[in-house]
Structures are given as structure tokens and as C-alpha cells.
Amino acid sequence: MTQQNVHTIVLAAHLDDGVLSCGGQIYQLAQAGEGVLVATVMAGDAGGGASDYAQSLRDRWQLDTSAEAARRAEDAAACAVLGADYLHWPIPDCIYRGGAEGGMYYQSDAEIFGPVHPGEAGLVAEVIALLRSLPGAEQILAPLTVGNHVDHIFVRQAAEAVYGGRLGYYEDYPYAQKEGSVAEVLERTGSGWEATVHPLSEAALQAKIEAILAYRSQFSTFWTDRADLERQVRGYAERVGGERVWQRE
């Protein structure tokens, strides 16, 4: 799903990253009549099946073999809450990717937040080709890669290859909540960073919370209940002044 006049494109690795990290901005842009497109790169079906690790995540999500379709539906519902359009690309999540011999590349939490597997050397080029199919937009937002998730790294590398200095980088939420995590990424990736803080209205904060609630399968991964979700989302917004976008000076 795309729209004709796009002001902002939010590039997401997974089916929740864009809303979790930029939900308030998305809502405020949409309310101002500016078109927003949330493009999720790793939104495809499992294809070759699920490893024990991937199945353990599906069990936690309380989803069966139709997990990816269910997650796409959640993302569509969340984007509707914010007034954004969405686009789902067919690359599978890293937990479903593997080599020709059938072994999965990433089979633990440590591996999905660790080094990129050498078998995936060609994936950035695949993502670049997808990004080049997008419509023009005034603003492009990509993950800063707080948390070091391999899929976020692929999206950032591809986005930099296509958009270069035009890119804005959002703070990957909720990983950005960890003290010092944003500063660590900025220091690791060189100097010359400058932040733009986007204050969020109460309506935008509430819309972001409602949109996050649409990701029912992901809820237990990050929060204990709605009160905990609201406390964390509002707490981080208060800490940074809303939502921050980083750019090279």
C-alpha cells in the first residue's frame, strides 16, 4: 500500500520498528496533512520453516505458522491508528534466514544482536534495490541501529547507500531506553552528529500508545501491562523531549 504524495518515509526493519520509534512524529505529520509511508523491509513469510529458536519466539508471541501474516495485519492496524500508509516487503526476518544447506543463520538472542553472518553478504544489495523503488519524499528516516540488531544494520547500510546525507536517523525504541545506548552508537559511528527534537503533543503520545497496542503479539516482549507500556513510552518521551532524529552536521 502506498500513497501518491509522500512527505516522510520511515524505513523499518521489522513490523513494529517504525511505530515504536517514530509513532508520535508520524501522527503529527499525518494530522498536518503530510503523507507518511512506513516501509518495512523484513516483513516476508518464513519460507523454509522455523528453527527451534524461531519457534520459541512464535510461542512467546502466541502465534502459529501464520505468524508473519498476523504481524503484517498488526502493522496495518497500527499505521491506521496514526494515519500512515504502509508497505511490506518480502524479505524474511533474520530468524527465518539461512543457507542452502538448511541451517538458520541466527539461532539465539546473542546472534541476532551480534555480527552479521557472512552468508548474508548480498543482502544489502537486495535491500538497496527495494529502496530504489520507493517514491520521492522530503524526509527519509532510517534506524540509528541502537541495540545492534542485524536487520536494523542491513536497513541502515542500504539506506545510506541510496540516500546518503539526506538521511535522518531515528532512535531504535525500546532499545534506546537503555542508559548510554544512543551515545554508544553515535561514538562508534563517527563524529558530527546533531539531534533534532520533535516535541509530542498529548494527542500524539496517546496515539502512539494506541498504535503500539495494536502489536498484540509483541506486547509481552517489552511490557507487563498497559500501565507499564504507558509509563515507559511517556517516560522516554519526557527524558528526550519527545522523539529525536539524528543527522550528520
Structure confidence by residue, pLDDT tens digits, 135-182: 999 999 999 999 999 999 999 999 999 999 999 999 999 999 999 999
Question: How high is the pLDDT of residue 92?
Answer: 95
Strand partners, 98: 104
C-alpha cell at 229: 507500556
Give me the DSSP letters along 137-155.
-SEEEEE--TT--HHHHHH
- The number of domains in the chain is 1
Residue 202 placed within a domain: yes
Q: In one letter, which amino acid is 198?
A: H
Give me the DSSP letters along 47-76.
SS---HHHHHHHHHHT--TTHHHHHHHHHH
CATH number at residue 58: 3.40.50.10320
pLDDT at 2 over 70: no
**What average pLDDT does the segment 128-134 reach?**
98
| Segment among 18-22, 37-41, 96-100, 151-155 with least mean pLDDT | 96-100
Per the structure, the complete domain to which residue 18 belongs is given by: 8-248
Q: Report DSSP state, residue 39.
A: E
Residue 3 placed within a domain: no
Residue 28 placed within a domain: yes
Q: What is the mean pLDDT of the chain?
A: 94
Residue 96 placed within a domain: yes
Confidence of residue 46 (pLDDT cuts 50, 70, 90): confident
Question: How high is the pLDDT of residue 65?
Answer: 73
Q: State the pTM of this model.
A: 0.96
pLDDT at 63 over 90: no
Residue 156 placed within a domain: yes
Question: How high is the pLDDT of residue 120?
Answer: 95
Confirm if 187 and 233 have CB atoms less than 8 A apart. Answer: no
Residue 134 placed within a domain: yes
Distance separating alpha carbons of residues 86 and 9, to the nearest angstrom: 10
